[in-house]
Structure 1
Amino acid sequence: MNFIYRLVLTSFITMLVLLPCANGQESITLGDERSDVYIPLLKGKRVGLFSNQSGIVGDRSEGLLSSAGCGIDDKSALIPFGTTLHGRKPSYGPHIVDCLLNEGIDVRAIFSPEHGFRGIADAGENVSSGIDEKTGIPIYSLYGKRSWQLSEKIALIDVLVIDIQDVGLRYYTYYISMLSLMEECAKMGKDVVLLDRPNPNGFYIGGPVLSMDFKSGVGSLPIATAHGLTLGELAYMANEEGWLEGGVKCNLYIVKCLGYTHSTKYRLLMSPSPNLKDMKAIYLYASTCYFEGTNISLGRGTAFPFEVYGAPQMSGDYEFTPRSVQGAKNPPYKDKLCYGTSLREMPLEDIFQKGVHYDFIIDAYNRYSDKDHFFIGGGRFFDLLSGTDRIRKMIEAGESSETISHSWEKELQDYADLRNKYLLYPL
């Protein structure tokens, strides 16, 4: 029989002392900082690691915003990742792979998600497997074409460690790679140890719930667009609900964060993927990612992806020209002048209040001159991002954003009830 072990002992909770951050706020202890909990589970075992550049152990330095409103504000949300709230370069902790090796753990394999282990590949780009130059450990890319079977690589390990930063949105693909690993571990009787991290969008849920008729590489579970779960909670839900392929269940150990709640707004210090460059983009991404299914540029190839939108065929006061850059080598409308809208000045209060919505999509649709070609490929990819074709049909029929939002109220409430069963942190 398989079991889930939530490694949160009463003694750890009562002994917890929250450390102050540089901004005077209380600190969160990440799962990967709790080595006294997970290292004993790994000693003497062959270990695989699922991670990328975000797997930095500890993220305290100016990393936390309380729900009371200190910390992230409209100004600091625009500070690029790689810069602290005070304009300095942050001092990152060691990577999880280095910590494991320093503890004498036998790391046999690294598994990487979309964008690769170093997090610099384009969205959707085929990422080759290789060798980590620093450690000599083989890296197996889970995103793109593979000349090897995942089962072959899982057979080489006894336990899989997961340490990766998610952003809490259904079309953010890291969790899909995680699920494929969990499925294979379940089939082969391998343990999974997940070192949990906060969800920067974990303070709300919103958007349509995916219909499994629209399961794809950008959405594989019947969850809301903004699902309001940490990666640990999401793994817990998928494992217990029988959502892994064939209904299998893995031996899942979740090492919780300490000091985190779902009312916490957590500031990332490192970009989780190449085109999410600041916290404003992390928040807007919930509603601007839908542009990926249209002929509208969302700013890839500019300094502000997911914070602007436009096209040569649109009207608008804001102008931008996408260029070939790292993480967006061939962006839509490369080297062409686009007209549209910048969301950079949109107050955070308005973003938080609206949550997931289609206002921006409808605005662009109404201003786009060739409506027959607004959606790419007849709208299929837009439907996959939305998790349903209902939204696209309502937009084409001229329905308002408010009416569209009302259309998912019942399914979202049902999802909220399900979510509550798997919350590991207070609301």
Structure 2
Amino acid sequence: MLNKHNIRQLRWGLWVCFTLFITASCSSNNLVKSTHVASTAKPIVGAQQFDTYLPLLTNKRVALVVNQSALIETDIENPHTTAKPNRVHLLDALLQQGVNVRAVMSPEHGFRGNKGAGEKVESAVDSKTGLPIYSLYGKTKKPTAEMLRGIDTLVFDIQDVGVRFYTYLSTLHYVLEAAHEHNIDVIVLDRPNPNGRFVDGPVLESPFSSFVGMHPIPVLHGMTLGELAQMMLGEQWVKVSTRSTSSLTVVPVKHYSRYQMYSLPVAPSPNLPNDEAIRLYPTLCFFEGTDVSVGRGTHYPFQLIGHPSVPLGKAKVPVTANNAAPFPKHNNTLLNAHILINANDTQTAPLIEGLDIAFLVNTYHHFITSNRADDTFFTRPDFFDKLAGTNTFRMMIEEGKTPREIRESWQEKVAIFKQKRKPYLLYPE
């Protein structure tokens, strides 16, 4: 005999199957159509192309804007690892090449990439090189005159994940703005976008601009940071004086197509530890504005959804398993979790990818029908709206609109964006 609990679990099981069906039938709208065939050659990131950009650094005083992701494969001996291929940090490689590096600037998560989301990042001195490391996260998000004193060229090399609310894009914005204010040249060493085949999501509206979204682009924009740097300047999203002598140089990735799968050699931030988390991130990050955990503080950050009282899944996951999140949601509480990856087979794709509206909508409905009346799903509605770049997305979910209706609400603006970005693309559509 079925009781209320069993009925709810049955509904949830049916919802999982329904969500996967909807995803398969509707999410094709996320993909940019192309007849371009990706090269079988391995992508060569901008930082690895010394012959292209080292001449631009001759007799220049250089500052790097980097974190732990600024790695290159090289024949230069790395005393810290015996791993093959040999990966060396850009800072070490440039110093070995005799480049006059004067300072390092780091984004959210710090130079070593070991700070949690939103965690304060202090300026410091690199113990290995003695160079000053200036934080561009916290009170100071834009390079100051003091940081830039005596600098001729800024070199930017940070791995992005292709999602508007991932804050490295905002850091790039402020770097370009400061460079133009102080007549400093900028070189962006481009890297692949692991979510590059998707262009989807609401286009940001200016009232919802913040550090987690500064530009009128979709949540999934399908561009690299090098392409976006060109677009930010070309569309005048960055304040530029007509008297500025600053120049932008982008070193593109060789042998790269935005449609090929690209596995990152190092985690771009503490809570995106693997390819699966990066592919789930565009959808799961929206739960940061809700009462649902995305696994921060567990062994599966951005690879599950969970809640202490709502039966989102059968797995029981503690929220005290790692130190990557200093203040995880529902800390020290066991979660009823739905793990979205195959923990025994990391080669298998996660259950969802891109921006899965059906997953968000159905989780919302399951939450409000399964939970106590005094528990709220959108616990941080203002933050959810900042992530979305609009309040329309949240309101349509609350109004009971279907995933298809929600996606249709931004299709016209996404189509306009696709046309607007064309002059700035470095890789075939």
TM-score w.r.t. length of structure 1: 0.83
What is the CA-CA distance between 1:253 and the residue it aligns to? 0.4
Q: Determine the C-alpha separation between the residues in 1 that align with 2:168 and 2:306.
A: 27
What is the CA-CA distance between 1:376 and the residue it aligns to? 2.3
In structure 2, what is the equivalent of residue 329 of structure 1? 326
What is the CA-CA distance between 1:171 and the residue it aligns to? 0.6
Q: Determine the C-alpha separation between the residues in 2 that align with 1:149 and 1:416.
A: 31
1:209 aligns to what SS in structure 2? coil
Match runs of 1:330-345 below 5 Å: 330-345=327-342
What is the CA-CA distance between 1:340 and the residue it aligns to? 3.3
In structure 2, what is the equivalent of residue 83 of structure 1? none
Q: Determine the C-alpha separation between the residues in 2 that align with 1:350 and 1:260.
A: 26
What is the CA-CA distance between 1:146 and the residue it aligns to? 4.3
Q: 1:58-77: per-residue Cα shift (whole Å, max 9, x none)?
A: 399xxxxxxxxxxxxxxxxx
Q: Contact 1:159 / 1:192 at 8 angstroms: preserved in 2?
A: yes
Q: Determine the C-alpha separation between the residues in 2 that align with 1:291 and 1:140.
A: 31
139-148 vs 49-58, greater mean Cα deviation: 139-148
**Structure with greater Cα Rg:** 2
Which blocks of at least 5 consecutive residues in structure 1 are unaligned? 1-19, 61-87
Q: Contact 1:59 / 1:269 at 8 angstroms: preserved in 2?
A: no
1:411 aligns to what SS in structure 2? helix
Q: Determine the C-alpha separation between the residues in 1 that align with 2:325 and 2:396.
A: 31
In structure 2, what is the equivalent of residue 376 of structure 1? 379
Relative to structure 1, is the Cα distance of residues 147 and 331 closer, same or farther in structure 2, using a 3 angstrom cutoff?
A: closer
2:154 aligns to what SS in structure 1? strand
Amino acid at match of 2:326: K
What is the CA-CA distance between 1:156 and the residue it aligns to? 2.7
In structure 2, what is the equivalent of residue 78 of structure 1? none
What is the CA-CA distance between 1:299 and the residue it aligns to? 0.4
In structure 1, what is the equivalent of residue 147 of structure 2? 153
1:29 paired to 2:26: no
Q: Contact 2:142 / 2:178 at 8 angstroms: preserved in 1?
A: no
Relative to structure 1, is the Cα distance of residues 59 and 325 closer, same or farther in structure 2, using a 3 angstrom cutoff?
A: farther
In structure 2, what is the equivalent of residue 75 of structure 1? none
In structure 2, what is the equivalent of residue 389 of structure 1? 391
Q: Determine the C-alpha separation between the residues in 2 that align with 1:170 and 1:142.
A: 18
Q: Contact 2:276 / 2:350 at 8 angstroms: preserved in 1?
A: no
Amino acid at match of 2:117: A
What is the CA-CA distance between 1:149 and the residue it aligns to? 6.5
Aligned sequence identity (%): 41
Q: Contact 1:308 / 1:342 at 8 angstroms: preserved in 2?
A: yes
Q: 1:115-136: per-residue Cα shift (whole Å, max 9, x none)?
A: 0000010101110000111111
Q: Determine the C-alpha separation between the residues in 1 that align with 2:107 and 2:307.
A: 30
What is the CA-CA distance between 1:324 and the residue it aligns to? 5.8
Q: CA RMSD in A?
A: 2.3
In structure 2, what is the equivalent of residue 348 of structure 1? 349
What is the CA-CA distance between 1:350 and the residue it aligns to? 6.3
Amino acid at match of 2:48: E
Match of 2:173 among 168, 179, 191: 179
Q: Contact 2:136 / 2:143 at 8 angstroms: preserved in 1?
A: no
Q: 1:339-360: per-residue Cα shift (whole Å, max 9, x none)?
A: 13221149638645xx313333
Q: Determine the C-alpha separation between the residues in 1 that align with 2:119 and 2:306.
A: 23
TM-score w.r.t. length of structure 2: 0.82
Q: 1:259-311: per-residue Cα shift (whole Å, max 9, x none)?
A: 11122221112101001111111111111110111111000011111110011
Q: Determine the C-alpha separation between the residues in 1 that align with 2:182 and 2:317.
A: 51
Q: Determine the C-alpha separation between the residues in 1 that align with 2:139 and 2:349.
A: 39
Which blocks of at least 5 consecutive residues in structure 2 are unaligned? 1-38, 76-81
Q: Determine the C-alpha separation between the residues in 2 that align with 1:101 and 1:180.
A: 25
What is the CA-CA distance between 1:89 and the residue it aligns to? 6.4
In structure 1, what is the equivalent of residue 270 of structure 2? 274
Relative to structure 1, is the Cα distance of residues 59 and 402 closer, same or farther in structure 2, using a 3 angstrom cutoff?
A: farther
In structure 2, what is the equivalent of residue 363 of structure 1? 362
In structure 2, what is the equivalent of residue 98 of structure 1? 92
1:226 aligns to what SS in structure 2? coil
What is the CA-CA distance between 1:207 and the residue it aligns to? 0.9
Match of 1:261 among 240, 257, 260: 257
What is the CA-CA distance between 1:230 and the residue it aligns to? 0.8
Q: Determine the C-alpha separation between the residues in 2 that align with 1:301 and 1:349.
A: 20
Relative to structure 1, is the Cα distance of residues 113 and 59 closer, same or farther in structure 2, using a 3 angstrom cutoff?
A: farther
1:283 paired to 2:279: yes
Match of 1:242 among 229, 233, 236: 236
Amino acid at match of 1:200: P
Q: Contact 2:57 / 2:99 at 8 angstroms: preserved in 1?
A: yes
What is the CA-CA distance between 1:148 and the residue it aligns to? 10
Relative to structure 1, is the Cα distance of residues 293 and 90 closer, same or farther in structure 2, using a 3 angstrom cutoff?
A: farther
Amino acid at match of 2:128: K
Amino acid at match of 2:239: E
Q: Determine the C-alpha separation between the residues in 1 that align with 2:124 and 2:87.
A: 24
Match runs of 1:160-199 below 5 Å: 160-199=154-193
Match of 1:40 among 26, 34, 55: 55
